Amino acid sequence: MEKIKVAVVGTGFIGPAHIEALRRNPNIEVATLCEVSEELAKEKAAQLGIEKAMLFEDMLKDEEIKVVHICTPNFLHYSQSKAVLEAGKHVVCEKPLATKIEDAEELVALAKKTGLVNAVHFNLRYYPMVRQMKTMRESGELGDIYSIMGSYLQDWLFLKTDYNWRLEPDKSGDSRAIADIGSHLLDLTEYVTGLKITEVMADFSTVHKTRLKPLKAIETYSGKSLDESDYAEVPINTEDHATVMLRFDNGNKGSVTVSQVNAGRKNRLNIEIAGSKANFEWCSEKPNEMWIGKRETANQQLMKDPSLFSPEAAKLIGFPGGHNEGFPDTSKQMFKEVYAAVVEGKQPENPSYPTFADGHRELLICERIIESHKKQAWVKI
């Protein structure tokens, strides 16, 4: 089997997650690692067992590299994705696709022009239970959708001393909680229900108006603490918490709440969809089970089992029923679909995976949500 050689750019929290998932697909070789400096690239490549360490610009000239995964801070996504496409390589970009809507529009157009495979890492679509909900809705088991309620709660920015580059608008963009985790929830909502969000009404709050920025490097989710002298107090202008009311193209309503300051909630996405025949509820912290609510018969608890799932959802299951699968498996399954397109050498007409167009869609919704908060009014998408 001839392996597809891949470069991964960035080694924060998500870069190594991409690397681990790529290595679980047998036709892929993570051949090159890129970082901001040659020294850091060599250090990280040695830690992660990757043969080549390069600067981004040098990697673009390497003809052996066929696909590039962009796992850098948000403000680099546009320029790096554009450079990769212009170098004739396929690209998988972390969300958000860009920090400005016009940059995302340019990337969508460029990707279409080149015909190269392009994907945005909305990996939460790839929990088997998420796709099962989607196929059950498509087969009519949910009925007409009445309402949608979602939340995405974390606590990794709960303390005033918690700090990360995502708190800095020049690196992350004008929104934080909505753009960072809310984008996953909003993408999942439209993906599962088949509905489109048409209007939004948002209200943000910044719990910590200032934070203590560490003067030493500290990794995301590390839980490490520093001494008082190791911090500098800085103002915070992005949201810790947001609530958004939604209107959908079927005329019905919904709401989402996102927060990065909910103590004890490590990474909890929850979605509940109320329909005319049933109610579906799924939580990412219990990814292998789904609650199905009924009015006139007993409620049901569906457990992950390929023998009980639709063929479309069963394709995302790697182990028999009773063997739990979770977050790392979502990227593996997404990349399996993306690299099937890479083998063909071009973007499919109707890709099964989230594309740059999906990345543009979520950025558009996020921008309208920011606008709504500023205006304190309903805003059309």
Q: What is the pLDDT of residue 215?
A: 83
Say yes or no to pLDDT of 173 above 90: no
pLDDT tens, 24-68? 999 999 999 999 999 999 999 999 999 999 999 999 999 999 999
Per-residue pLDDT reduced to its tens digit, 251-272: 999 999 999 999 999 999 999 9
Q: How high is the pLDDT of residue 2?
A: 85
Q: What ranges in 149-307 are assigned the alpha helix state H?
A: 169-172, 177, 183-193
Measured CA to CA, the distance from residue 167 to residue 171 in angstroms comes to: 8
Q: What amino acid is encoded at 303 in this protein?
A: M
Residue scoring higher pLDDT (318 or 170): 318
Lowest mean pLDDT among 172-181, 300-309, 326-335: 172-181
> Is the pLDDT assigned to residue 223 strictly greater than 70?
no
For the chain, which domains are there? 4-123 (3.40.50.720), 125-327+359-380 (3.30.360.10)
| Backbone torsion region of residue 314, taken as left when φ is above 0, otherwise alpha when ψ lies between -120 and 50, otherwise beta | alpha
Element (H, E) at 9: strand 4-9
Cα–Cα dist 49/30, whole Å:
9
- pLDDT per residue as tens digits for the range 87-143: 999 999 999 999 999 999 999 999 999 999 999 999 999 999 999 999 999 999 999
Question: Helices then strands (H, E): number in the chain?
Answer: 12, 17
The residue count of the chain comes to 381
Residue of 18, 21, 15 lying closest to 318 (CA atoms): 21
Q: Is the pLDDT of residue 181 over 60?
A: yes
Answer whether residue 222 shows pLDDT above 60: no
Q: Which helix (DSSP H) or strand (DSSP E) does residue 327 occupy? A: helix 327-344
- Is 114 in contact with 142 (CB distance < 8 Å)? no
Name the average pLDDT for the chain: 95
Q: List b or e across 173-207, with b for residues whose CB sees 16 or more CB atoms inside 10 angstroms.
A: bbbbbbbbbbbbbbbbbbbbbebebebbbbebebe
Beta strands in 264-334 (DSSP E): 268-275, 279-283, 289-293, 300-303
**205 pLDDT band (50/70/90 cuts)?**
very high
pTM greater than 0.85: yes
pLDDT at position 171, please? 86
CB 232 within 8 A of CB 212: yes
What one-letter code names the amino acid at 42? K
Would you state the torsion angle of the CA atoms of residues 200, 101, 105, 180, taken in this order, to the nearest 10 degrees? -80
Q: How confident is the model at residue 217 (pLDDT cuts 50, 70, 90)?
A: low
- Asked whether 246 and 253 are in contact (CB, 8 A), the reply is yes
Which has the closest alpha carbon to 177: 127, 237, 233, 255? 237
pLDDT at 136: 98
Is the predicted pLDDT of residue 231 greater than 90, yes or no?
A: no
Residue 232 φ/ψ, nearest 5 degrees? -125, 135
